[in-house]
């Protein structure tokens, strides 16, 4: 029992630092770059993704013995898209401001590789409790990464942070940082910093492990291995 508990704890915490989906495994780049012009949007996107991740991981784990292997990709996609529709309704009803600022990227949670990757790699092989812990851990890791990105970009690019103004930067904001180019730059810098701090060899390639098509494309001799 004690061993069981530690392993659940491990599932929960691995996503936050060791296997952080965005900064270490390099999954889900599109929302990471697109919505992080403000720290607030980063948190909102992170939590919305966590909700979808939790829901889809639980349902996939519940149905893992029912879904035939051959149609698992469409089945997972339908499950994920349903939760995305659900969170869309919830946000539109209760947090219309956030709904407007996330815009199309809320719909695009459907094709976020993190969610698909976790369904494929973890939830379809593990029990419900472990899958839920995995989803929460990964979700928190994703949210923290987005919050970090959003904070850096908002502080330097707009001179404020969560509504507070930053003394020197407020009068001289570097607009470039809230523009698309700044997103690429900030993410590159943060990943480099993570590599430096963790003393790890920097990743040469994007994380194809989470890509739902990794199997089929490595079979075809594609770029993903």
Other Cβ atoms less than 10 A from the Cβ of 175: the count is 10
Site string for other proteins, 115-134 (x = CB under 8 A): -x------------------
Question: Angle, to 10 degrees, between the axis of helix 180-198 and the axis of helix 128-158?
Answer: 120
DSSP string, 110-128: GG-HHHHHHIIIIITTS-H
Look at residue 23 and give its three-state secondary structure. Answer: coil
Pattern of binders to other proteins over 77-106, x per CB under 8 A?
xx--xx-xx--xx--------------x--
By CB under 8 A, residue 208 contacts other proteins: yes
- Closest approach of Cβ 190 to other proteins, in Å? 9
Among 100, 111, 124, 165, binds other proteins (CB under 8 A): 111
- The residue within the footprint of other proteins, chosen from 17, 73, 121, 128 (CB under 8 A), is 73
173 binds other proteins (CB under 8 A): no
Measuring CA to CA, how many Å separate 64 from each of 73, 122, 125, 214? 12, 11, 7, 20
Using CB under 8 A, list all residues that contact other proteins: 26, 29-30, 33-34, 73-74, 77-78, 81-82, 84-85, 88-89, 104, 107-108, 110-113, 116, 176, 179-185, 187-189, 191-192, 195-196, 202-206, 208, 211-213, 216-217, 220-224
């Amino acid at each position: 029992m004690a061993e069981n508990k530690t392993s659940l704890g491990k599932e929960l915490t691995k996503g936050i630092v060791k296997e952080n989906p965005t900064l270490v495994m390099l999954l889900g780049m599109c929302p990471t770059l697109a919505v992080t012009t403000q720290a607030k949007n980063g948190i909102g996107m992170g939590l919305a993704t966590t909700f979808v991740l939790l829901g889809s991981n639980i349902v996939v784990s519940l149905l893992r013995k029912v879904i035939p292997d051959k149609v698992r990709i469409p089945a997972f996609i339908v499950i994920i898209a349903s939760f995305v529709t659900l969170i869309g309704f919830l946000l539109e009803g209760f947090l219309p401001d956030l709904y407007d600022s996330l815009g199309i990227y809320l719909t695009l949670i459907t094709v976020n590789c993190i969610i698909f990757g976790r369904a494929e790699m973890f939830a379809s092989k593990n029990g419900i409790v472990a899958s839920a812990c995995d989803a929460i851990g990964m979700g928190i890791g994703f949210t923290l990464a987005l919050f970090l990105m959003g904070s850096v970009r908002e502080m330097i690019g707009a001179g404020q942070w969560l509504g507070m103004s930053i003394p020197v930067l407020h009068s001289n904001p570097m607009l470039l940082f809230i523009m698309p180019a700044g997103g690429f730059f900030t993410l590159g810098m943060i990943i480099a910093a993570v590599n430096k701090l963790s003393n790890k060899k920097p990743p040469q390639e994007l994380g194809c492990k989470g890509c739902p098509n990794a199997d089929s494309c490595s079979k075809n001799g594609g770029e993903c291995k």
